[in-house]
Amino acid sequence: MGSLNWISRFIDETPGDNQVGGLSRQVPGVCWSRVNPTPTPNPAIRIWSIEMAEELGLEAKENDILGGKKLSSGMHPYAQRYGGHQFGNWAGQLGDGRAITLGEVDTGERILELQLKGSGVTPYSRFSDGKAVLRSSIREFLCSEAMHHLCVPTTRALSLVTTGEDVVRDILYDGRPAAEPGAIVCRV
């Protein structure tokens, strides 16, 4: 991924929080916070979009980067902050609670943003661990690619990576949490 033409328009042109780290906190007056993905023990690519990789100009699958274990030169990872309503009330600070943008890539034809969903805690995670599970990640990958091929404008998916760690979730929302395989989707 070091061969990609990484640019940083969003962080260059908007106010941001340069304190690196994912500690959940209030961050007033900014559009983004610097944060690095949480390293995963054993990232392995399970699904790969050849079409999306070709559009980006990627030739190799990079488990460690797409699994949040390391960064490539030119990347400036951050989480976006925004506000909005939840349950009919103004919620104040919201943001990318489990998604970390690696940066923007200029392909020569257009600019694309690469984001790792499920890659760890950000200042906007509130009470969450910032992780994603395999079952929801599979749905996101398949649905985003299906919508694209049905000509519905949407986020694309480059990869789905299992992390090699379990994530505890209350699968049936019945008070009985259980461990599930963790995963990260690279959104484009």
Give the pLDDT confidence of 163-172 residue by residue, as tens digits. Answer: 999 999 998 8
DSSP structure string for the chain: -TTS-EE-HHHHHS-EE---S------TT-SEEE-PPPP-SS-EEEEE-HHHHHHHT--S--HHHHTTS---TT---EEEEEEEEETTEEEEEEE-SSEEEEEEEE-SS-EEEEEEETB---TT-TTS--BEEHHHHHHHHHHHHHHHHTT-----EEEEEEEEEEEEE-TTSSS--EEEEEEEEEE-
Give the sign of the dihedral formed by CA 59, CA 4, CA 153, CA 82: positive
The strand pair at 178-187 and 157-169 is best described as antiparallel
Domain spans of the chain? 6-187
pTM over 0.85, yes/no: yes
* pLDDT per position as a tens digit, 147-158: 999 999 999 999
What is the mean pLDDT of the segment spanning 176-187? 97
- For residue 83, name the pLDDT band (cuts at 50, 70, 90): confident
* pLDDT per position as a tens digit, 89-142: 988 888 999 999 999 999 999 999 999 999 999 999 988 889 999 999 999 999
Amino acid residing at 133: V
For 27, the token pair is 């961050």
Amino acid residing at 103: G
Q: With a cut of 90, say whether residue 34 has pLDDT above it.
A: yes
Nearest CA-CA partner of 130 in 161, 169, 171: 169
